[in-house]
Structure formats: C-alpha cells, structure tokens
A and B are shown apart, each in its own frame.
Chain A
Amino acid sequence: MEEREIKEIETDLLLEAIVRLYGYDFRNYARASLNRRIQQAVDKTNCATISDLTARIVREPEFFQRVVANFSITVTEMFRDPEFYKVLREQVLPYLATYPFIKVWHAGCATGEEAYSLAIMLEEEGLLERATIYATDFNEDALENARAGIYPLEQMKQYGSNYRQAGGRGSLSEHYHAQYESVIMEAKLRQSITFSRHNLTVDQVFGEMHLVLCRNVLIYFDRTLQGRVLRLFDDSLVNSGFLCLGSRESLRFSDTAAHFVEFVAKGKIYRKRTVP
C-alpha cells in the first residue's frame, strides 16, 4: 500500500480517537491543511508516525491538550483586510446604530485582535456602551491571551497602518497603553468583550445577534461542516442581521444562501432576509 494511503488511515484513526476521548471533532475539517498541522505535531513531539502520536494522545490527556492547541489557527491581526473594516464602519454600523442595544458574535476569534478591532470601531462610532461583543473560540490558550488583551508593541506599526486604511478616526495608540515591549488594550475595550469557549463543530446557538463575524474559519471546514456552521449563524441572527465572512468565503454553495442577500459583495457581507 502507498505511504499516502497509510497516512490517510492513520489520520482517520487519530481523529476518531480524539472525538471519542475528548469531544473535539476534526473529522469534517478540510483534510489538506489539517494534514499539515498533524505532521507538524508529529515532528514537534518527536513521534515517528501519526500512529505514535495517536498512542500518546490516547494515553496522555495533558499531551493531547498541548497538541490540540496547535490544531487551531491563531494567525490573525488587528483590522485584517482594512477594506472590510472600512465597509463595516461606513455601511453596516449605521444600521446597527438604530438598535437600542447591539449584540455581536465574533466566531473563531483566536487571540482576539479582530474582536478588539471591532470594539475600537464601535467605540469611535459612539456605540460601544450599547454593544455586547461575544468572541468565541475552541482554543482555551488563545482565549486566555485574548482576555489579557496584551500584544507585542512591534506589531502596532502594522496594525496602525491597517487602522488608518480602515477609516480610523484618531490614532490606534489612543486605544492601548504601551509598556516595555508590550501594549495592553484599554480597560473599557477589554470589558466590552466576553471571551468564551464555543466549538463550532458541536456547540449550539447561545443568543440572538445583530452581527456575526466569522472570517477565514469556514475555509478550514468541509462542505458538510460549513453547512452546519452557516445554519448556526442563520439561527443566531435577527431578521435583517448581518453576516461577515472572509474575503475568499461565500454562501454560494450552502442551503442557507436563500436566507440571505448580498449586502456588500467585495466585503463578503450578507444580510439576513426578513421572513415575510
């Protein structure tokens, strides 16, 4: 049997073991990029094969927790895709401003950079006091970083440039305090965001939202899991609520597509239809 066939079987067994022992379900993740992360875990832990990795995961819960943290994608930045944030600020926030209170769900927030970006925009538009931001991820380590709101100072130059391109009204540095080589986000921002654990593959709707952001998460899922997650967002959103996806993601192939209209094509922002 070819090596790649063997790896395929080993991967199936690994994912089966993980879901049965720990409840994390990666079986409907897009395989190609998951394969890379599994191979990285094999290399990093000095295992010879995926089967070796599985054996340790099955017997050592602490080992599993370390490995699983590396299965989630924590690559993110503040005001990532500035053009998107500009559209959000100029075209979506004016609608949200008409509500007496605003509930936002940022799904797959990783270490929180984009959740803070959103909070900064809401603050600058005078909407933060009325807003509740739920930012969720399955990776507890990433959430811990997000709650702390501490980021390396050296990244702020890039983020500041993104912020200006995104239509920032002042200076990004007004929203954090710098000390030594780090910055901490303003207390007001940190308090406005509830960071909590939620796993899109298994968990349910937890509230009624006016805005759902989930960017560059669906690309990691197969069609089946994409469908599940999009239904979750559909069920979470109020009528006329907004759904924002990543620049390369779309509703095109999902059965929830009929429940939404394209609000801004370039920003991949959709609006839920009003049920007649």
Chain B
Amino acid sequence: MNDFPVVVIGTSAGGLDALRAVLPALPVKLPRSVIVVQHRSADADNFLAEFFNDCCRLPVAEAEEKELIRPGHIYFAPAAYHLLIERDMSFSLSVDEKVNFSRPSIDVLFESAAQACGARLIGVILTGANADGAAGLQTIREAGGLAVVQQPVGATAYYMPQAAINAGPVDYIMELAEISDLIRKPPCPKNTRKY
C-alpha cells in the first residue's frame, strides 16, 4: 500500500540549488506525486519546470487548473497564482491576496493538501528567507502527515527551515540527500513519530 501518494515541497531563496539536490535523484515509477511551490517574481515564465524537466527522470510541468494529479509526476505552482489541491486530487489555482507576501504561497498549498490528503501526505520545507510554509507544515502534521525540514545549518537561507522548526514539532530535520531518499522510500507512518 502507498502510504504517501503526495509530497508537497516549499522553498524560496536558494530553492533552485536545493531542488537540484532533491528532484533529479527521484527514480522513474516513483509512486508519488511531487508538488513544489518555489517563490519567484509574478512575471516569471515556466523556466523552472522546463529546467527540471530536462534534468529529472520524472516528467516535470507547471500545474494546470483542474488537472488530475498523477503519480510519477513533478508539478510546479505557476508564477502569480496560488496552487491548491482539491479532494478529488485535482489542482485549483487562485489569485486571492498574497499570503506571507507570497503568491504562490507555501501555506496555501500545504493547508489545502492537508485537507485533501489527510495523513497520506509528506510536507517538506527547504531553504528560504521568509516564514511562509511554517504554519502549513504544522497543519500537515496535525492531520497526521509527515513534516520534514531541511537542516537549517548549511542551507543557503536558514530562515525558512528555522521558522518551520520553531513553529512546532516536526518529524525529520535532514540534509538534502536524505530528504531525497525519504521521498523515494518513506518510513512506515505510524512507527516513526519522534516527538
């Protein structure tokens, strides 16, 4: 049984390099969907998705509204839109106010993912320079999902992972390579709570 069909990742400053250490290592036939919010300017094109599509073994694309989320795919939130997950495992977009000065916002993705997936969800916070995602990661954990944070020491920008750790208990604080391994082979959910 697939305990974690969905992985959500949030990152900001330094995210490109961090994601390069996590995403290309993921194997074909990964039985999970990986959904990424990377903060960037509102008029950014789809460079990110194209870049990672070229260096990943899994297909990478920007999420389209109403698109059904498929396993073995990596999705990026498009610039200037919030990305949300619906109960039927499809994507929604919104142009609601910015959250934590950000659109797309990590909190918005994480909170909707927790509502849609419950415990069958892994949330990951990587390098970044604001506190977006800290609240969302707690929501994921409260719904029974796995909360994972990049080790702030050594992260390009420590603020975002540190804020996520300060917001409440998390399950793992790891280096990037370990995070990639965890996405490949997550632990059995019930036996791994450390706190």
Contact = CB atoms under 8 A, between A and B. Distances in A.
Asked if A pairs with B, the answer is yes
B116 interface: yes
A248 B64 contact: yes
A2 interface: yes
Contacts of B112: 32-33, 35-36
Interface in B71-101: 78, 81-82, 84-87, 92-97
A4 B84 contact: no
B92 A223 contact: no
B64 to A, nearest CB: 7
B87 A31 contact: yes
B65 interface: yes
B115 interface: yes
A22 B85 CA distance: 29
A64 interface: no
A253 B94 contact: no
Contact of B87 (A2, A8, A37, A73): A8
A73 B86 contact: no
Contacts of A30: 84, 86, 92, 94
Given A30-B92, A33-B94, A4 B85 contact: no
Interface string A85-118: 0000000000000000000000000000000000
Interface residues on A, range: 20 to 34
B92 A73 contact: no
Which secondary structure dominates chain A's binding surface? helix
A73 B94 contact: yes
Contacts of A253: 66
Contacts of B87: 8, 31
Contact of B94 (A3, A7, A219, A223): A219
B115 A7 contact: yes
B114 A4 contact: yes
B111 interface: yes
A158 to B, nearest CB: 11
B135 to A, nearest CB: 12
B118 A2 contact: yes
B96 A33 contact: yes
A219 B108 contact: no
Given A249-B65, A253-B66, A220 B94 contact: yes
A253 B66 CA distance: 9
Contacts of A3: 143
B111 A248 contact: no
A214 B108 CA distance: 24
B96 to A, nearest CB: 6
A75 B97 contact: yes
A3 B97 CA distance: 26
A4 B94 contact: no
Interface in A113-143: none
Contacts of A8: 87
A216 interface: yes
A36 B86 CA distance: 12
Contacts of B64: 248
A170 B84 CA distance: 40
Contacts of A32: 84-86, 92, 112, 115-116
A165 B128 CA distance: 31
A218 to B, nearest CB: 8
A219 B115 contact: no
B111 A36 contact: yes
Given A75-B95, A219-B93, A33 B143 contact: no
B96 A36 contact: yes
Contact of A248 (B81, B96, B108): B81
Contacts of B114: 4
14 contacts: A2-B143, A31-B86, A32-B84, A32-B86, A33-B96, A36-B84, A36-B96, A36-B112, A73-B95, A216-B95, A219-B81, A248-B65, A248-B81, A248-B93
Task: List 4 A-B pairs, minimum CB-CB distance, nearest first.
Answer: A32-B84, A33-B94, A32-B112, A30-B92
Given A3-B143, A248-B78, A253-B66, 5 more contacts: A4-B114, A30-B92, A36-B96, A36-B112, A75-B97
